[in-house]
A and B are shown apart, each in its own frame.
Chain A
């Protein structure tokens, strides 16, 4: 949909908060994933017309109201560090860049909460709070760029702090949400959950009042385990101690780090960084338990453990030059299934160079981030690797795991994850809150590329990637309207 007239936007915000610069429109069409252009074209993507960055919730509300009135698609975007396409403005229209919505509005030490705008990067909030002796209860490893709103939108599934303080959803006192018609509503803690993981399809979160915690003393560990079995057992026990941070790196991952000089760790089956936090007595008590649990493991010097902690935001990308592309697959696995899943992954990726880093999550689950080295310039090979996406999808279903974010690319999995009834409920909710379907259309419950079509093209990518490459390249010369018509006829949900 092409916006005929954006002049009204200039009445809402200053000129320098709006861009239609061609280069901007390219940047704002993308998220973290380096997808071939032809693939996005095959989605019938329409380029966005304009990017607006509101500076407060009022402006945000007026922009959304304008979009609703004119029936213009509007896609909220934080730092776009997600890779499932959630922040991709697939139907064009307005991209709402929320990163200028970044003020700390209130800090209440007595009642232990902070009220901030949601485009604030976690890193800035963490630094600000920690300088005052406070800390957050949950944040992602992409903190130097990830926004608070984006974390909530993406589901806030994993992160630092979660094993100790639980999911950020439980730490929300209230949200200020802009609904599709522009109304601003304030949620109660329970209602807040509605918007977590809704990927900007139900409302745009403008402000959050969030619990903060007194920063305790911290103790840093780094362990190496020679066997997967021992490592996973220890991990399971360590999580019960409710550490502030725990993760694991597998052998492949550490190999990558060593290769680029980002670490010099011995190669063990599992390497486990751990941070416990609390009062002097708590630390003493936990320290004993940690030592018991990890008695058979190699314990590295504290200096290395602290380094690991300082690098926690960077490790995942530090070896990217080895690809130079990396295909990332994320899945949430119940701890009890972890060993089996790791073995499955190992056999599945036998032909690849890969490594795994985990992120601790809640409810005794762990999020695996699987990094597969690739080179996007070698299109056929790259497409072949895309076929793993489907294999990971199946793995998820076999092991009661769930994908980590639905966005655009994983919508076809929704009927496998949820019952038809549950999907219906979600769709009615969307229909109720956003009757014109302007908020981030074609995401989550709206399956753009129908399951069968997605599944079969994935299969073909694995078997005859050259043909798929040729097909996509040729199709990208097809008129957009034809692609969109085709998708619609196949049952794809387009706006």
Chain B
């Protein structure tokens, strides 16, 4: 984004305030400085020299980082203002001025040093991987694991591998050679550092002859799709599973007679327009009753997950509102396509004091899969 685009947005904004309707941050904080409208109003003063940057530096930095990048505001905006990329560019600008908020500096340092946000050693990234997938081999298909599945939620990764191994799907995993996809650094405004991670990953993709990358992490999926060279086809596992179900390769034969909410995580929903595939998967499970939030699909309100690191007091409160609505609708299980949402919903359930199970789709589905008579031999080409 160039300065001219910010100027254009600032003067195009009609101050209608529609952007507040589904903004998770505004709805929680309640004051205009975190609405897109509000930001456009004080950016205008800044651009016109009516507001001195230094006189309210801290407030500005906070207002720029207090955005989940969920793009709900874009859906509502009648003038088509896309705030999320503007906000990322502003963060990059702040970073270049050395104004990354103090509490985020350790996060950034860890991300750069360890290539994951959890501070785990790089060499342990692949320690969960079943023997048959070590070391990485040449393959058209790559399972991009993500930091979260590699370090924090191994169950997700193991599930994905098991589901695909069971049906004889051929793929490879980079293991310790995988880097963070770059998403957390991009969200911080650390573009240069993110680019380095991206480049390293691309090198590995080339090294193993990868053509299609799939991942179970919504954040990786969005980043791989939008910030990487277009040479690779990128899929989210929900797309892959949906396809396998349609082709009859993945069949569910056990029941789950409960009310389930599929939550449209923003990285998969608004950012990537994927709404139906995860629902198709869940509809294929006998007995499962899908429940919808009042505002769903492109109108879904973000759970606030992206703010877990930067505004730890805010994020769970946002999630709590959604958990409450789900619980009022009789939902017993929330399924998300995104580990960030999942973790934040767990905290949110605590805040709301609601008993509700939260899982990631790959963790949830294995137990319903019909056992194959005998494992199919690997096919020549995957679906």
Contacts and interface: CB of A to CB of B under 8 A. Distances in A.
Nearest to A318: B78
B258 interface: no
Nearest to A123: B21
Interface in B33-57: 33, 35, 37-38, 41-42, 45, 48, 50-51, 55-56
B17 interface: yes
A324 B11 contact: yes
Contacts of B60: 23
A37 B46 CA distance: 13
Contacts of B55: 22
Interface string A21-55: 11110111011111001000000000000010100
A317 B18 CA distance: 11
A145 to B, nearest CB: 4
Given A24-B33, A127-B294, A314 B41 contact: no
A80 B294 contact: no
A321 B41 contact: no
Given A23-B60, A24-B33, A320-B79, A37 B50 contact: yes
A142 interface: yes
A36 to B, nearest CB: 9
A435 B79 CA distance: 43
A23 B46 CA distance: 11
A79 B17 contact: yes
A118 B33 CA distance: 22
Contacts of A437: none
A317 B38 contact: no
Contacts of B59: 21-23
A30 B41 contact: yes
Interface of B: 8, 11-18, 20-21, 29-33, 35, 37-38, 41-42, 45, 48, 50-51, 55-56, 59-60, 63, 76, 78-80, 294
Contacts of A19: 31, 33
Contacts of A17: 30
A192 to B, nearest CB: 26
Contacts of A288: none
B30 A320 contact: no
A375 B37 CA distance: 18
A335 to B, nearest CB: 28
A24 B32 contact: yes
11 contacts: A21-B59, A23-B59, A27-B32, A31-B15, A32-B15, A37-B50, A51-B31, A79-B20, A97-B30, A99-B30, A144-B17
Main secondary structure on A side of the interface with B: mixed
Given A27-B38, A144-B18, 8 more contacts: A21-B59, A26-B42, A26-B51, A27-B42, A28-B32, A51-B31, A314-B18, A317-B16
Contacts of A131: 294
A313 B42 CA distance: 25
A81 B21 CA distance: 14
Ranked 4 nearest A-B pairs via Cβ: A27-B32, A145-B17, A314-B78, A317-B78
B17 A317 contact: no
Residue with the greatest number of chain A CB neighbours at <10 A, chosen from B15, B29, B32: B32
Residue with the greatest number of chain A CB neighbours at <10 A, chosen from B8, B56, B79: B79
Contact of B78 (A16, A128, A316, A376): A316
Interface residues on A, range: 35 or more
Interface string A307-330: 000000111111011011110000
A106 B18 CA distance: 26
Interface string A371-383: 0000111000000
Interface in A225-269: none
Nearest to B28: A16
Given A32-B14, A121-B21, A26 B45 contact: yes
A433 B30 CA distance: 30
A320 B40 CA distance: 15
Contacts of A16: 29-30
Contacts of B15: 30-34, 80-81
A130 to B, nearest CB: 11
Contacts of A483: none
Given A26-B42, A321-B80, A21 B11 contact: no
A32 B15 CA distance: 5
A317 B14 contact: yes
B45 to A, nearest CB: 6
A37 B12 CA distance: 18
Contacts of A313: 18, 78
A32 B16 contact: yes
A318 B59 CA distance: 31
Nearest to B17: A145
A24 B38 contact: yes
Nearest to A377: B11
B35 to A, nearest CB: 8
Nearest to B59: A23
Contacts of B37: 27
Given A53-B31, A320-B14, A320-B79, A26 B8 contact: no
A321 B33 contact: no
A321 B59 CA distance: 28
Contacts of A394: none
A321 B80 CA distance: 9
A324 B33 contact: no
